[in-house]
Amino acid sequence: MSKISRRDLLQYIGAGGVGAVGGVLYGESVQRNVELLIPQVVPPDDYSPGVASWYNTVCNQCSAGCGISVRIREGKAKKIEGNPVHPVSQGRTCARGQAGLNALYNPDRIRTPLQNAGQRGSGSFEEISWGDALATVGSRLGRLKIENNASRVRLLTGRVRGRLDELFAQFMGLLGSDHYQQYDFTYPSALMAANKTSYGTDVLPYYDIKNATFVLSFGADYLGTWISPVHHSLAYGHLRHGQEGRRGKTVQIEPRMSLTGASADEWIPARPGTEGLLALGIAHALVSDGRYQGSDRDEWSTALAAFSPARVSAETEVSDDKISQLAREFGASAASLAIAGGAAAAGTNAVASVVAVNALNHIAGNLGKPGGVIFNSEQAFSSAAASRPAGHQGVLDLTEAMEAGDVEVLLVHDANPVYALPENVRFQQALQNVPLIVALSSFPDETTEMADLILPTNTYLESWGDDVPDPGVGFPVASISQPVVAPLYDTLSAGDIVLSLARQIGGELPIRMRWGTMEEFIRDRWREEYNKRESAGEAQEFEAFWQASLEAGVWGQPGADSGGNSVPSTSSTIASIANPVSMFAGGESDYPLVLHPYLTATFLDGRGANLPWLQELPDPMTSVVYGSWAELNPATAAEMGIKDGDVLEISSPTGTVRVPALTFPAIRPDVVAMPIGQGHKGYGRYAGDRGANPIHVVANQIDTQSGELAWAATRVKIKRTGEKLQIIKTDGVTRTLGRQILAPKNDHG
């Protein structure tokens, strides 16, 4: 063994030391951070750590009124599913419903009351306290009331139902203003008006798709956007394979294939604006071939005389044979059902078109029977059942009043008319004449940006409320909306804001509106309802009823007839048969294409655009994400030399939008379709500045009978700008190329 020199020894010690220090440092670096173990101060009764609990409430992403269950872990909402005992959703939800969590936890939520800190519309706001905000509004309203000028106060809301609607109405009534109106772009105005004509009721009937064997839809995208998509989807599944040995058939008539059209057995692209005419052609064939044997057969024959299949065929561009075939199938099916919606119910002929479709149901004897049109009672659950109209006429009146300087205070709740109205309604310009605009909203949007004062509201997952679904489900039913999490920020529910304002204003308001909170109000009303039904009505019993209703999220009487199911006579429908052809804004020579704006299953009328899960959800028909586009038939595009991604200038007689082109195989060559939903200017980071809003270029055409916006009655011209824009889509090859993807190989041939 050789000697180790002193120098070497020191080197070895040094190396060992450096190694040891390195080892300690390594150990330190991989050590996990100190984590805390935070106990509850006082645990809630139903608390179990690491175990989820579910709370039932009502979805507010559209007006269907689906019951939902929200999964809560440690006080945070984790997942939304359908409430299995709710008769509308039956445990299911759509994409929008589930994205409600993005609304609750949206980073762009308004967290405190804000007041305008600059030019109106500049978007600069400063925080103020709730006390100051409520005092400002309350004193202004109080003064107007004392001066007998309360009619200069207007309240505009989105589609609000149930007790919140009642509260709004009561508040405005006591204030002395009868100007409370709602606006919802998706509100089925024409359907309401036509049904009023045909059936004499304001309550939507129940369209029993579930038990139908032949569904003939004129433009109604009932699986994606029309009225109650989740409920209709459940029904559709049943129609297809719910019964042994029977598969229902669906036919869709629309100029551009919708989600529903894609699932239909037949897709018929009739000429836009002639859908009602086609219905009359089918009706004519039904009556003339002797299928209809009612006592009023002659009256029908006379009323339908002008609509022979030959004439209808020429105008609708649907062949004679096809019309006869549809009439045959419609008449011969065990349970046929005709429905109308979407663009077919948004022309200048909207009401006449829906009446024509109603006529089909009359003639085929589909009223009041399973698989047909079933009528709901107005008395399903108190007066709250009949919902308030939320159509276009109300906002036009409001705009006029604002222009005339008749509006001093405008309260806006949960509505975005600046986005969802055609530009030539000039709503935004009219807002400049209003001295005080107060917005009640959870999110900044194009309308809150114009406000002087923003009162931030709870989202629906943090609020009390109730709802009677419209249309109902054939028996009395009502849902309770309850907070599933504590409010995240310094916000109040819209109901609580109204109650606070009532206290601010004083006088008889706080006496008549005596409830401290919205929760108290809902309980009080449900107690009344309970007492009305159960004659005993002891407090103890109500408490049990209330707890049970809260737990279930819904109250209902399955089996009980809602009492509205008497079949209306045909006379008023016959009397209202008119030529249902839509008139378009813009001449055909200058504006060769028809603009077909359509609601999307993701954003609906644009309200879903601030939810990131929906922005990242590929469009069901095109797989496009994060943007908007204009769909053209490949033949039209080829003719004009347009390729995917070419930015087009789409001009209507009233405006222009710029948007990239996308060829789409299932659209008429004379139509250009654009999804509604993008093109926001101030709706948070996810809606961003992306895409274009087709509603803005829609001409302010009005349906002659209902006064509603004919949003599918505008012609446009398109021009290539020479620019290119990448359309982001997830689809690659969209043909199966003989591979075993959609069916076993031998089926492909």
Min CB(740)–other proteins separation in Å: 6
**Binding span for other proteins by CB under 8 A among 48-56, 382-390, 393-401, 583-591:** 48-56
Between 654 and 673, how does the x/- string for binding to other proteins read (CB under 8 A)?
Answer: -----------xxxxx----
Between 166 and 205, how does the x/- string for binding to other proteins read (CB under 8 A)?
Answer: ----------------------------------------
Q: What is the distance between the alpha carbons of residues 93 and 641, in angstroms, rounded to a whole number?
A: 42
Cα dihedral across residues 103, 107, 111, 114: positive or negative: negative
DSSP, collapsed to helix, strand or coil, labels residue 127 as: strand
Among 59, 62, 64, 80, interactor with other proteins by CB under 8 A: 80
Identity of the residue, 21 or 544, whose beta carbon is nearer to other proteins in the bound complex: 21
Q: What is the distance between the alpha carbons of residues 127 and 496, in angstroms, rounded to a whole number?
A: 20
Q: Which of residues 442-471 bind other proteins (CB under 8 A)?
A: none
Cα dihedral across residues 320, 324, 330, 334: positive or negative: negative
Q: Is 739 in the site for other proteins (CB under 8 A)?
A: yes
Q: Is 43 in the site for other proteins (CB under 8 A)?
A: yes
Q: What is the distance between the alpha carbons of residues 155 and 11, in angstroms, rounded to a whole number?
A: 86
Identity of the residue, 512 or 685, whose beta carbon is nearer to other proteins in the bound complex: 685
Q: Is 731 in the site for other proteins (CB under 8 A)?
A: yes
Q: Is 742 in the site for other proteins (CB under 8 A)?
A: yes
Min CB(243)–other proteins separation in Å: 13
Min CB(72)–other proteins separation in Å: 11
Identity of the residue, 68 or 204, whose beta carbon is nearer to other proteins in the bound complex: 68
Q: What is the distance between the alpha carbons of residues 438 and 440, in angstroms, rounded to a whole number?
A: 7
Q: Is 91 in the site for other proteins (CB under 8 A)?
A: yes
Could you write out the three-class secondary structure of 555-572? Answer: EECCCCCCCCCCCCCCHH
Residue 145 corresponds to which tokens in the numbers above?
Answer: 């009331």
Min CB(497)–other proteins separation in Å: 23
Q: What is the distance between the alpha carbons of residues 375 and 355, in angstroms, rounded to a whole number?
A: 16
Question: Do 194 and 354 touch, CB atoms closer than 8 A?
Answer: yes
Among 53, 566, 579, 740, interactor with other proteins by CB under 8 A: 740
- Whether the bond between 568 and the residue before it is cis, its omega within 30 degrees of 0, is no
Residue 335 has what DSSP assignment? Answer: S
Between 357 and 396, how does the x/- string for binding to other proteins read (CB under 8 A)?
Answer: ----------------------------------------
Min CB(123)–other proteins separation in Å: 20
Q: Which of residues 586-615 bind other proteins (CB under 8 A)?
A: 601-602, 612-614
Identity of the residue, 533 or 739, whose beta carbon is nearer to other proteins in the bound complex: 739
Contacts of 726 (CB under 8 A, 6+ apart): 645
Selection from 164, 664, 593, 691 nearest residue 384 by Cα:
164
Identity of the residue, 99 or 193, whose beta carbon is nearer to other proteins in the bound complex: 99
Q: Is 233 in the site for other proteins (CB under 8 A)?
A: yes
Q: Which of residues 493-532 bind other proteins (CB under 8 A)?
A: none
Q: Is 319 in the site for other proteins (CB under 8 A)?
A: no
Q: What is the distance between the alpha carbons of residues 715 and 191, in angstroms, rounded to a whole number?
A: 24
- Report the DSSP pairing between strands 646-652 and 714-724: antiparallel
Among 65, 138, 142, 224, interactor with other proteins by CB under 8 A: 224
Min CB(351)–other proteins separation in Å: 28
Q: Is 616 in the site for other proteins (CB under 8 A)?
A: yes
Q: Which stretches within 553-698 are classed as H helix?
A: 571-575, 612-615, 634-640, 684-687
Identity of the residue, 261 or 682, whose beta carbon is nearer to other proteins in the bound complex: 261
Q: Which of residues 4-33 bind other proteins (CB under 8 A)?
A: 8, 11-12, 15-28, 31-32
Q: What is the distance between the alpha carbons of residues 623 and 629, in angstroms, rounded to a whole number?
A: 12
Min CB(94)–other proteins separation in Å: 5
Bridge partners of 216, per DSSP, are 251, 338
Min CB(591)–other proteins separation in Å: 22
Q: Which stretches within 205-274 are classed as H helix?
A: 229-241, 259-263
Q: Which stretches within 51-159 are classed as H helix?
A: 95-98, 100-104, 130-146
Residue 251 sits at φ, ψ, to 5 deg, of -125, 135
Among 3, 6, 37, 119, interactor with other proteins by CB under 8 A: 37
Among 141, 144, 220, 234, interactor with other proteins by CB under 8 A: 234
Q: Is 730 in the site for other proteins (CB under 8 A)?
A: yes
Among 297, 514, 643, 685, interactor with other proteins by CB under 8 A: 685
Q: Is 212 in the site for other proteins (CB under 8 A)?
A: no
Q: Would you tell me how many other CB atoms lie within 10 Å of the CB of residue 201?
A: 17
**Binding span for other proteins by CB under 8 A among 378-386, 403-411, 570-578, 729-737:** 729-737
CA distances from 537 to 527, 530, 555 (A): 8, 7, 17
Min CB(293)–other proteins separation in Å: 26
Q: Is 53 in the site for other proteins (CB under 8 A)?
A: no
Min CB(651)–other proteins separation in Å: 25
Q: Cα 153–157–159 angle (5° rounding)? A: 150
Residue 413 has what DSSP assignment? Answer: E
**Binding span for other proteins by CB under 8 A among 465-473, 538-546, 570-578, 630-638:** 630-638
Q: Which letter, b or e, does each residue of 671-706 get, where b requires 16 or more Cβ atoms within 10 Å of its Cβ?
A: bbbbbbbbbbebbbebbbeebbbbbbbbbbbbbebb
Residue 266 corresponds to which tokens in the numbers above?
Answer: 């037949």
Question: Do 442 and 610 touch, CB atoms closer than 8 A?
Answer: no
Among 42, 486, 536, 539, interactor with other proteins by CB under 8 A: 42
Between 235 and 274, how does the x/- string for binding to other proteins read (CB under 8 A)?
Answer: -xx--xx-----xxx-------x-xx-xx-x-x-x-----
Min CB(525)–other proteins separation in Å: 31
Residue 74 corresponds to which tokens in the numbers above?
Answer: 């440690």
Q: What is the distance between the alpha carbons of residues 346 and 695, in angstroms, rounded to a whole number?
A: 13
Min CB(110)–other proteins separation in Å: 14
Question: Do 447 and 427 touch, CB atoms closer than 8 A?
Answer: no
Q: Is 41 in the site for other proteins (CB under 8 A)?
A: yes
Rg (Cα) of the chain, in Å, rounded? 29
Between 102 and 141, how does the x/- string for binding to other proteins read (CB under 8 A)?
Answer: x-xxxx----------------------------------
Question: Do 288 and 301 touch, CB atoms closer than 8 A?
Answer: yes
Q: What is the distance between the alpha carbons of residues 209 and 623, in angstroms, rounded to a whole number?
A: 28
Among 589, 735, 738, 749, interactor with other proteins by CB under 8 A: 735
Q: Is 488 in the site for other proteins (CB under 8 A)?
A: yes
Q: Is 73 in the site for other proteins (CB under 8 A)?
A: yes
Identity of the residue, 368 or 688, whose beta carbon is nearer to other proteins in the bound complex: 688
Among 59, 62, 94, 710, interactor with other proteins by CB under 8 A: 94
